[in-house]
Amino acid sequence: MKLDDIKTIVDVVTGYNTGMRSRKTGYAYSRKIYYALCMEFAIETRCGVQYNYSQIGKSVGTDHATVINQIKSFERDILGNAEWRRKYEQARYYTATKTQPSLISPEADLNKIKDENFRLTNKMSTMEMVSGDTKKLLSIYNSLPDRLRDDVMFKVETAYKINEKHKRDLNVIYTEA
């Protein structure tokens, strides 16, 4: 994906101009999201290599050292903040699917996600085959304040992904033996 495409997605999702030279938190965090997405998705179709730090930095008026520094602090600043993590995940979704967010109302897409989340939560709570332990966990989760639910869900998803990777790694070991 081209750097300009990623920049447009990040600008729309975060509501900040990624190319703006400002130290304000919104602009800085927007650039951090941009740098992270570039490192993951910015591939030139001509030669199949990723853009380097200098090219990514130049696209928003910074240098390679700034890009490296901002990528190092990405996890702490973006993934450690529920609001900005949500924006990152939304921008990552659009980048991964190569679709453009709604330029009219970025909130419309977020509302669709919230509606789907509500529908799935209701479906999950009405399932008949839920074990007693799962019901207890669901009760605890539902009693949490909204600001903590996002953090808990992120940690559960991370633990699940680590567990799945561990299972795949073990499967490879056993199939090679």
Task: Give me the mean pLDDT over the 1-8 stretch.
Answer: 86
Distance of alpha carbon 10 from alpha carbon 119, whole angstroms: 27
**Cα-based distances in Å from 171 to 124, 159, 163:** 30, 18, 12
Closest by CA to 35, choosing from 8, 12, 3, is 3
pTM exceeding 0.95: no
pLDDT tier at 131 (50, 70, 90 boundaries)? low
> 124 near 141, Cβ under 8 Å?
no
Q: Assign residue 98 a region: left if phi > 0, alpha if psi is -120 to 50, beta otherwise?
A: left
Instruction: Give the rounded percent of residues in the chain with a pLDDT score beyond 90.
Output: 28
Question: How big is the chain, counted in residues?
Answer: 177
Question: Could you report the per-residue pLDDT of 88-99, keeping only the tens digit for each?
Answer: 999 998 888 877
Distance of alpha carbon 86 from alpha carbon 70, whole angstroms: 18
Distance of alpha carbon 28 from alpha carbon 11, whole angstroms: 12
Q: Name the residue with tokens 């703006």.
A: 20
Beta strand ranges found along the chain (DSSP E): none
Task: Give me the mean pLDDT over the 106-115 stretch.
Answer: 69
Greater confidence (19 vs 113) lies with: 19
